[in-house]
A and B are shown apart, each in its own frame.
Chain A
Amino acid sequence: MRQPFATAIALFVMTGVHHAEAAGVHVVRRIPGYTCMMLNETPQQAVDPRVQIPVRAEPKSESPPVGNAMPVVAVKAPLQSVNGFYEALFPNGRRVWIGANRVVPYHSLGDPAAKCAPAVMSNGLVGFDYYH
């Protein structure tokens, strides 16, 4: 009787661990060589859908946009401007370019002590590891 009971307990624990790992998106590992920047916007601009900051395929203003920047951007470190653009990683892992004057070092209005590091997330996207 004891062995089946122990097996059942082990299965229960293993199942619980599996669910705990599967629940929600989480950080897998940090990405070296990149730093956190955030969009250079006022709080009003940050929530205004009319304000979109494009990211481009090449460091040229005439290069077509490949998307709009997210609020926090993984920028290649150390910072090096090319034609006024910084190289960055888009959430889908694509290398893009964003206007150097469009981003500032990461700092949170609601959590001034927060720090940030670009990271690979459990869903495979490029995200961020926030810490204090």
Chain B
Amino acid sequence: MIIRFGGVGCAAGRKESSEKRAGRQALASRWLPLIEAGSGGLLVAAALAGAAAAQTPVTSNGPPQEVIPQVGEVGMPNFTMPSGTTNPSDGSGGSGDGSGTDTGGGDGSGSNASGSDALNTMLNQPWGIQAINESEALGINPSAVAATCVVESGCQNVGSSGASSATGAFQMMPSTFNAMYAAALQDDPSLASTTTGSIDDPASQAAAAAEYLKQGAQQIQNAGVSDPSVIDVRGYYNFGPSGAALATAGDGETMAQVMPNVSQSVFAQNGVTPGETVGQYKASVAAKIGNAASQSVLNS
């Protein structure tokens, strides 16, 4: 990356140098015969003075070329698409080869799901923009909703996996979906005209998921965490009210200790072992979510 960045800069640098070099060569073509012919310092000095008076200043045509880096530097924050905007890189009309100018792979984390990546992933779905609009109508950061579907299904409208009855892009249980969709409808009655209310409808699931995240964030907020992040609320999404405890737990405690009423089967359904520490759980989730993990869930 540094090499590519340097390469861009060097290319511009070469152009500037060639202009200077041309000037130097023009001067040298005038001076050199005199210097070579002269046998004394006085002659050389006189020749130089004459040449200096005769030379024409070399000016560049306009201001110096501005070097614009094409590749993000290591450690620079990733770009996060402002909410409510359309995705300029969804690739729907492009070649779809995915090479583009993606900065993935440069952060060293091995994650493809930074905040903007999560939004892009969701926006690549036909229901993505609708999900963003629903999130904002419910007061939820769209990146939080996008991160949720990225972790749950890669934002694919998939069926149930394993013994769980959770289904869809947000892998919601039917009981949770029904309760959260009803609550979302209360918060935003316009959903009735834009969604079907079926658990098989990803846009309906997005609204229910946004409502679920909202309730989790508010519970954690009431417990004293002033601005719950995506990673704080993730536990609530996985484990319901029991998971709220993860937001205030020490990183060294185990999942079974912090959520004493959660059964082994529920841990297994969520791909978590009871002996896993809270810190390990958060790190694992953060690796999947990318930098959206630290973003606020609630829009201010």
Give A contacts to B, CB under 8 Å: 23-27, 38-39, 41-43, 45-52, 66-68, 70-72, 90-93, 106-111, 114, 116, 121-123, 125-130
Contact = CB atoms under 8 A, between A and B. Distances in A.
Contacts of B257: 108, 110-111, 114, 116, 130
Interface stretch (B64-72, B174-182, B191-199): B174-182
Interface in B231-275: 236, 239-245, 248-264, 266-267, 274-275
Interface SS majority for chain A: loop
- Most chain B beta carbons < 10 A, residue from A24, A71, A108, A125: A71
A91 B258 contact: no
B205 to A, nearest CB: 15
Contacts of B260: 38, 71-72, 106-111, 114
B99 interface: no
Interface in B136-194: 175-176, 179-180
Contacts of A92: 223-224
B29 to A, nearest CB: 52
Nearest to A114: B257
Nearest to B180: A49
A131 to B, nearest CB: 9
B241 A51 contact: yes
Given A27-B250, A47-B239, A70 B245 contact: yes
26 contacts: A23-B251, A24-B279, A25-B251, A26-B250, A27-B250, A41-B261, A43-B261, A45-B261, A46-B240, A46-B241, A47-B240, A47-B242, A49-B240, A50-B179, A68-B222, A68-B241, A70-B245, A70-B248, A72-B260, A110-B259, A110-B275, A111-B257, A111-B275, A121-B250, A122-B250, A127-B250
Contacts of A25: 248-251
Contacts of A39: 261
